Amino acid sequence: MVLDIGLCGTEGSYLRDVRGGPRWRHHGDGQPQSARLQRNEFVREQSRPISGDTGLFEMRSLVQTGNLPPKAARAGTETRLDTSRKYLDHLLGYVDRAKLRKLKVVVNAGNGGAGLIVDQLEPHLPFEFIKVNHQPDGTFPNGVPNPMLLENQASTADVIRRTGADVGLAWDGDYDRCFFFDEHGQFIEGYYLVGLLAEAFLKGEPGGRIVHDPRLTWNTIDIVRRCGGEPVLCKSGTLSSSRRCVRSTASMAVR
């Protein structure tokens, strides 16, 4: 059986897997590697990623050699499944909305998928969203949605300065990476945000594990330990951090 959950972000499909999802998941993540190529990911049950360490190269070998299992005796079925409400509830479960104050927030989806979930969150939050490159468009008319590139940061920073916004957020195509800008339009390095997020998660889960990659570690390790948590080192990348998070029963994983 194929369950088609439609256009959503990477986390939305992972959530479906964790909560009683299928034994196998494949998705094209909307993150362009070039003007014509899209990246694809494979994940097993319980959101266990398939990487070069866990069978991806063996899959490649089977395809290249044609040594594939025989076709199923009976054709499969395809069913449309709307998981957006569950994902929205999951996101809202992280915050106490009564404590949120009104803010003016610039959101730049980069013509990827983030605009869809921003629209669903909007009625539930006290924020005024100023939307940039908001509509999904797989041709990416405003360039590759990678806010880490200096040339891509101005489209968010300029709007913050022009509108007097309190903060800005920009995402990559499949919105599993989010980047912040302050009220002056200054890009905030993700390294410092990891520490803030870890502190917030550990308040709700004292003694929890925080999975992090080896690129920049001192601030993360210091804050996690100071807040009573346990830092867990893993290789860089979504697949590695996701796999380690599941195996370590961690409170949070970052890459």
Under a CB-based contact definition with an 8 Å cutoff, are residues 111 and 137 in contact?
yes
Which two tokens mark 187?
């890009």
What is the pLDDT at residue 47? 65
pLDDT above 90 for 127: yes
What is the pLDDT at residue 34? 47
- Residue 122 DSSP label: G
pLDDT tens-place string over residues 75-120: 888 888 888 888 899 899 989 999 999 999 999 999 999 999 999 9
Q: Which residue has the tokens 């800005």?
A: 168
Radius of gyration, CA atoms only, the chain? 20
User: Max alpha carbon distance in the chain (Å)?
Assistant: 62
Q: Which residues of 236-252 are buried (b: 16+ CB within 10 A; e: fewer)?
A: eebbbbbbbbbebebbb
pLDDT above 80 for 58: yes
pLDDT above 70 for 20: no
Confidence of residue 26 (pLDDT cuts 50, 70, 90): low
Mean predicted confidence (pLDDT) in 40-68: 81
* Of the candidates 236, 172, 227, 232, the residue with the CA atom closest to the CA atom of residue 204: 227
Tally: H helices and E strands in the chain: 8, 13
Q: Beta-carbon neighbour count of residue 78 at 10 Å?
A: 8
Under a CB-based contact definition with an 8 Å cutoff, are residues 16 and 46 in contact?
no
Which residues are CB-neighbours of 12 under 8 A, at least 6 positions away? Answer: 5, 83, 84, 87, 117
Q: Beta-carbon neighbour count of residue 30 at 10 Å?
A: 25
pLDDT tens-place string over residues 139-163: 899 998 999 999 999 999 999 999 9
pLDDT above 60 for 27: no
pLDDT tens-place string over residues 161-218: 999 999 999 999 888 889 999 999 999 998 888 889 999 999 989 999 998 888 888 9
Q: Beta-carbon neighbour count of residue 199 at 10 Å?
A: 15
Indicate the SS3 state at residue 151.
Answer: helix
Amino acid identity of residue 213, one-letter, is: D
The order of strands in the sheet holding 103-108 is 127-132, 103-108, 167-171, 178-181, 187-188
